[in-house]
Amino acid sequence: MNIQPIKFNISRVGFKGNKNTTQPQETGLERSPKKDEFTISVGYVNDGHGQSNNMMRILSGIKGDIKLSAGDNDLGDEKNQGVHKATTMFLNIAGIKASALGNHELDTSQKDLIETIKNYDGDFLCVNYSKEPLENQSEYDIEKLGRAELDKYLKKSKIVEVKGEKIGLVGASPMDMFERLTHPNYYADSKIASLEDTIEEIQDEVDHLKEQGVNKIFLLSHLGHKRDKVVAENTDGIDVIIGGHTHELLYDIKEGENLLYSESGEPVIITEAGKDGNYFGKLNLTFDKDGVITQAQNNIGESRLFYKNMINQYVFDEILGKPENIGYIKQAPPPPKSLVEENPHANFVCDVMREKTNSDIALWHHSGVRSFFHEGEINSRDVKDMAPFVDYIVTAEVPEKVLVDAFKKAIEVTYESSLHKPGLIAVSGMNYTVDPEEGKLVEMNFVDKNGVEHKIDVDNPRADKLYKVVTDEFLMSAGADFNVFAPEDVYIEKFPYDKDVMTAEYIKEMNEPVVINQVGRIKFVHEED
């Protein structure tokens, strides 16, 4: 277990600019009588994105008097029904009492989401979601787009009893909720309040809970870390923010980063445990009789270090089908920490697509890569977790100019984003150079089947030069926040399966240990002025 039990004491005196965050021994903290203290442990997850293998590992490790989620538990549209069912089963088995409503919860239609909510033993909480009443909508939109009275199935807050004490829970969804949907039309009737209005809605709900005698309140937030900090400092009454959306990995408790102070000067602790179920957390808290945190300990566990829960693996297998053992990974590097690092795991999948479709170039955008290869035995679900979206493989002839322009846009958009989303593009059959400070494409080379590089003039790319390109349908025709490479009506071929199926079959056919070391395809420089 990679859990670091570092304990911090928080003084109740001089909260603003307080520097009394120290090791517990010799704190000099004036403690309340023990009978007036309340201790609680909180197990938390965020941004699991339907990663079934990690869900089974988390089930073996997550502990707490109460367990909570900051949302994005799920991933994928109606084509991913098995994943949706498995995710809901995970929430129920883990005993997750409540979750924020993340953007990926809205990948399905409103009707499908309501079914998920009905099957969930807990509650989805959201103060800042609203929608047009159904009576004001057309019959076509209701029937064809799966519109429903979703707002009636969401709660703004709830009260749970833990160890004889009332705990208040409030939820909030991100400002960019509808910019990140698989099918935006499903939710064209919906709105998310501005940050300013969201803060007001949160405060109103906190005040409502306090009126009911609740003095320990948690915000389940999918707002993102920067906005969580704004909420913490501009509200009063929130003790803990269980955060998500921006995939931060917040170890320990650090003043100014995840220990902030409310408008009245009381401590507010923020959590966030990465993404894709690679991590989960346990927050140990001590409250005084007034509901103010006096001690806190934030532990992060790394999911891969825990064994899969075999009992629940059987349950998952019933839903998703039993995975097939396909081979052995002899060597694999750690996954990249950001979307602007080269991803050898994605590069390997690109190699597979290029070889199996006899294409010139293979592409896969980094934001679509949701897991990575682990050393040791590997099964079909391990590969599926890398590519959980159902996006069928397609090939098309793409002009050199279209290819270059798309990469220019991809790099520009990625480096304009504070979180570097949607990320760079993994490749096979080419390499390219990026200036990260300027956020632009510097150089590009096509690499033929003999390994010979052919320079592409990125300033004057040819419109008459065509390359056979293979990627998934989302990147090829939807653009994945980039330019479209080729519309559907010019596809050479569309395969009835996704990257994971092709990759799993390839590894089986290799019949030898696999080494993942595909690097050197993305280079980074800064051009001198």
pLDDT in tens, 5-27: 344 444 433 233 333 333 333 33
| pLDDT tens, residue by residue, 344-357 | 999 999 999 999 99
What mean pLDDT do residues 232-243 have? 98
Fold entry, domain 41-305 = Purple Acid Phosphatase; chain A, domain 2 (3.60.21)
Asked if 148 and 114 touch (Cβ cutoff 8 Å), the reply is yes
Q: Which residues have C-beta within 8 Å of that of residue 414, sequence separation ≥ 6?
A: 339, 340, 420, 421, 422, 423, 424, 439
Please tell me the predicted confidence (pLDDT) of residue 148.
94
Share of the chain above pLDDT 70, in %: 92
CA dihedral 335, 339, 341, 343 (to 10 degrees): 50
pLDDT at 251 over 50: yes
pTM passes above 0.85 = no
What distance in Å separates the CA atoms of residue 479 and residue 473, rounded to the nearest whole number? 9
What mean pLDDT do residues 424-441 have? 96
Question: C-alpha 236: how far from its chain's center?
Answer: 28
| pLDDT tens, residue by residue, 69-118 | 999 999 888 878 888 999 999 999 999 999 999 999 999 999 999 999 99
Least confident stretch, 213-222, 280-289, 475-484: 475-484
Q: What is the DSSP letter of 464?
A: S
Domain(s) labelled CATH 3.60.21.10 in the chain stretch across 41-305
Please tell me the predicted confidence (pLDDT) of residue 45.
98
pLDDT at 527 over 50: no
The CATH number of domain 323-524, selected from 3.20.20.70, 3.20.20.140, 3.90.780.10, 3.30.365.10: 3.90.780.10
Beta pairing, strands 123-125 & 96-100: parallel
Share of the chain above pLDDT 90, in %: 77
What distance in Å separates the CA atoms of residue 198 and residue 285, rounded to the nearest whole number? 26
pLDDT, mean over the chain: 89
pLDDT at 34 over 70: no
pLDDT at 2 over 70: no
Asked if 503 and 349 touch (Cβ cutoff 8 Å), the reply is yes
Beta pairing, strands 190-192 & 129-131: antiparallel
> Residue-wise over 12-29: b if at least 16 C-beta within 10 A, else e?
beebeebebbeeeeebeb
Please tell me the predicted confidence (pLDDT) of residue 367.
86
Please tell me the predicted confidence (pLDDT) of residue 184.
86
What mean pLDDT do residues 41-70 have? 95
| pLDDT tens, residue by residue, 145-158 | 999 999 999 999 99
Please tell me the predicted confidence (pLDDT) of residue 479.
64
Is residue 288 packed enough to be buried (19+ CB in 10 Å), middle (13-18) or exposed (0-12)? middle
Helix 195-211, helix 225-233: angle, nearest 10:
50
**Residue 198 to residues 128, 172, 361, 385: CA-CA distances in angstroms?**
6, 8, 45, 34
Please tell me the predicted confidence (pLDDT) of residue 245.
95
Least confident stretch, 112-121, 315-324, 431-440, 486-495: 315-324
- Output the six-digit token pair for 506: 């390839």
pLDDT at 483 over 90: no
pLDDT at 140 over 90: no
pLDDT at 250 over 80: yes
Domain(s) labelled CATH 3.90.780.10 in the chain stretch across 323-524
Instruction: Supply the DSSP string of 307-356, one letter for each residue.
Output: ---HHHHHHHHHHH-PPPEEEEEEE-PPPPSSTTS--HHHHHHHHHHHHH
pLDDT at 284 over 60: yes
Q: Which uninterrupted H or E stretch holds 94?
A: helix 81-94
What distance in Å separates the CA atoms of residue 450 and residue 441, rounded to the nearest whole number? 25
